[in-house]
Amino acid sequence: MAHESAVHEALKKHFGHSKFKSDLQEKAVKCAVKKKQDVYVSMPTGSGKSLCFQLPGLMSENQITIVFSPLLALIKDQIDHLTKLKVPADSLNSKMSTKERDRVIMDLKAVRTNLKFLYITPEQAATKFFQDLLQTLHKHNKLAYFAVDEAHCVSQWGHDFRPDYLKLGELRSKYSDVIWLALTATASREVKEDIYKQLRLHQPVAQFSTPSFRKNLFYDIVYKNSIEDDFQHLADFARHCLGNPKEFKDTPKPQRGCGIVYCRTRDQVERMAIGVTKQGIGAVAYHAGLKTGERTEVQEAWMRGDQPIICATNSFGMGVDKPSVRFVIHWDVPQNVAAYYQESGRAGRDGLQSYCRLYYGREDVRSIRFLLQNDAHRARGRGDKELLTERAIKQFEKITEFCERTTCRHKLFSDFFGDPTPDCSGQCDVCKRPKKAEKALEIFHRLCMDDAFKSHISLQDCADLYEE
Ligand code: ADP
Ligand code: MG
Ligand code: ZN
């Protein structure tokens, strides 16, 4: 097909890539190039979503692609990247001088427009000035695509909702003959539905999503009240995950297996790092209480493989892409399914067998719940804020319920992302040994009852705490 080779040629010519990063990226690009349907792309960070609108945009002659992006910093990065590739791209924003703005506008209004991409925040997009500009561009058939980057910002269910994204829906209705492309890193089923609805994407939308199932990750839950020595238990597990000690030693340090232990508080992080190190496996501590310099040093020591384990609060991990993470342990219950998926998903990026374990205890649940209820209490009567805190509680309850059930651990994620139930093939404790999982849960419940009985009085004290 002439069309097929043209896509590959353009990929090489503009970006210097001889192949697509993934099958999904290729399919999304080819679909967008056809300009028959709106396109939704959900792929993890770093998988090359930008190319899914940049390549089709470049292939639309004498037309420009409008890209909505939530932050000026992101816009700057993308424009710099395109400029390096000699692709004319610019922005219109409040930080520009009048002269700069005029230059961009002149170009847009010229008969032959040089610019291929115009990046803009949704706030700017809402201005009368920009609306008029769009109308002119549209009248002269100069609009190639509208691309909405970080499309989850349109959803109130998302983690960084931006009210101005909601206004984009009106543009979709107004320019109904132009194709829209919406892109985001993994979004839950609810967020995806919201994106379709709020952006008024035309049905049927062509969807390209990385499946959420990670078949090289083994998930299990261990009940804290059923183990004797915390640090020892965890260290034994870490050793098991890191595999053969000889092989470990023979591998160059940076490529050696390693692991992350997430704890909720700074204190716990510190205690954990000391406790695990005493068990004979080196661990460093990382949390927001450290100075920036120290934090970087700790992270780099772990990246270099000086110490195999990093104990950290959830502030650790953004942008960390170490392939050989053999395990991610949650010492406390994660706050919600999205966070759990993201944090545990840092294991096994190289595709090799890796382990994700959650140590579960009712005490942790109680303290987290208490904090969330406090937040909710303070947010009462404050509109959106109240809604968010209430949602946070619901999402937390959902994950605790899950921990006290024997359902395939991978199903938690596939349900959350709206994917079909995957074939787990024994990659979780429940599917691997269902009887044992039932038994563990039963013992957990029995021990919880014993505890409640023993500490009857102190529990009542707690009840008072929660009241107000
Ligand atoms: P995302 O938006 O999904 O987080 P980006 O679009 O920022 O990802 O791309 C991540 C990196 O992948 C960039 O450095 C980009 O140049 C690179 N990339 C994208 N497509 C390809 C490809 N086909 N071949 C090689 N590298 C690619
Ligand atoms: Mg991106
Ligand atoms: Zn399973």
Give start and end residues of each alpha helix (H) in 380-428.
Answer: 384-403, 409-417
* 4-209 and 217-462 have identical folds: yes
Interatomic CA distance for residues 407 and 405, integer angstroms: 6
The whole-number pLDDT of residue 145 equals 98
Return the minimum-mean-pLDDT range out of 123-127, 221-225, 237-241.
123-127
- Find how far residue 138's CA is from the centre of its chain: 35
Residues in contact with ligand 1 (CB, 6 Å cut-off): 17, 20-21, 43, 45-51
Q: Which amino acid is at 342?
A: Q
- Residue 243's contacts (CB-CB under 8 Å, 6 or more residues apart) are 257, 326
Using the atom order of ligand 1, give the atom closest to the CA of residue 17.
24
- 44 CA from centroid of ligand 2 (Å): 9
> Which of 7, 12, 14, 15 has most ligand 1 atoms within 8 Å of its beta carbon, as the pocket-test mutant?
15
The whole-number pLDDT of residue 464 equals 40
- Residue 245's contacts (CB-CB under 8 Å, 6 or more residues apart) are none
- 92 CA from centroid of ligand 2 (Å): 19
Interatomic CA distance for residues 218 and 426, integer angstroms: 8
Least distant ligand from the CA of 319: 1
Above pLDDT 90, what percent of the chain?
Answer: 83
The whole-number pLDDT of residue 463 equals 42
Q: 6 φ, ψ to 5°?
A: -60, -40
DSSP per-residue codes, 208-268: EE--S--TTEEEEEEEGGG-S-HHHHHHHHHHHHH--HHHHHHS-GGGS-EEEEE-SSHHH
- 258 CA from centroid of ligand 3 (Å): 24
The whole-number pLDDT of residue 461 equals 44
> Which of 18, 47, 79, 321 has most ligand 1 atoms within 8 Å of its beta carbon, as the pocket-test mutant?
47
Question: By three-state DSSP, how is residue 276 classified?
Answer: helix
Query: Which residues are near ligand 2, the ion (C-beta closer than 5 Å)?
Result: 49
Least distant ligand from the CA of 217: 3
Using the atom order of ligand 1, give the atom closest to the CA of residue 50.
6
Using the atom order of ligand 1, give the atom closest to the CA of residue 11.
23
Using the atom order of ligand 1, give the atom closest to the CA of residue 81.
16
Q: What does DSSP assign to residue 20? A: -
- 187 CA from centroid of ligand 1 (Å): 19
> Which of 24, 51, 87, 117 has most ligand 1 atoms within 8 Å of its beta carbon, as the pocket-test mutant?
51
pLDDT in tens, 231-282: 999 999 999 999 999 999 999 999 999 999 999 999 999 999 999 999 999 9
The whole-number pLDDT of residue 460 equals 46
pLDDT in tens, 163-209: 889 999 999 999 999 999 999 987 889 899 999 999 999 999 999 99
- 335 CA from centroid of ligand 3 (Å): 21
Confirm if 357 and 330 have CB atoms less than 8 A apart. Answer: yes
Q: 240 φ, ψ to 5°?
A: -60, -45
Confirm if 171 and 134 have CB atoms less than 8 A apart. Answer: yes
Using the atom order of ligand 1, give the atom closest to the CA of residue 20.
23
Single out the residue of 246, 428, 419 nearest to residue 354, CA to CA: 428
Using the atom order of ligand 1, give the atom closest to the CA of residue 19.
23
Place of tokens 């206004």: 167
- 230 CA from centroid of ligand 3 (Å): 25
Decide if pLDDT at 359 tops 90: yes
Using the atom order of ligand 1, give the atom closest to the CA of residue 78.
7
- 289 CA from centroid of ligand 1 (Å): 33
Question: By three-state DSSP, how is residue 460 classified?
Answer: helix
Ranges of each domain in the chain:
4-209, 217-462
Q: What is the CATH number of domain 217-462?
A: 3.40.50.300
pLDDT in tens, 390-446: 989 999 999 999 999 999 999 999 999 999 999 999 999 999 999 999 999 999 999
DSSP per-residue codes, 320-378: ---TTEEEEEESS--SSHHHHHHHHTTTTTTSS-EEEEEEE-HHHHHHHHHHHHHHHHH
Residue having the nearest C-alpha atom to atom 22 of ligand 1: 21
- 43 CA from centroid of ligand 2 (Å): 9
- 45 CA from centroid of ligand 2 (Å): 7
Least distant ligand from the CA of 41: 1
Average pLDDT, integer, range 328-352: 95
Name the pTM for this structure.
Answer: 0.82
CB neighbour class for 346 (10 Å; exposed up to 12, middle 13-18, buried from 19):
buried
Residue having the nearest C-alpha atom to atom 18 of ligand 1: 48
- Residue 222's contacts (CB-CB under 8 Å, 6 or more residues apart) are 233, 357, 358, 359, 360, 440
HSE (CB half, 13 Å, CA atoms) of 81?
A: 14
Least distant ligand from the CA of 52: 1
4-209 carries CATH number 3.40.50.300: yes
Tokens read off for 290: 């450290």
Residue having the nearest C-alpha atom to atom 21 of ligand 1: 21
Single out the residue of 406, 371, 401, 405 nearest to residue 389, CA to CA: 371
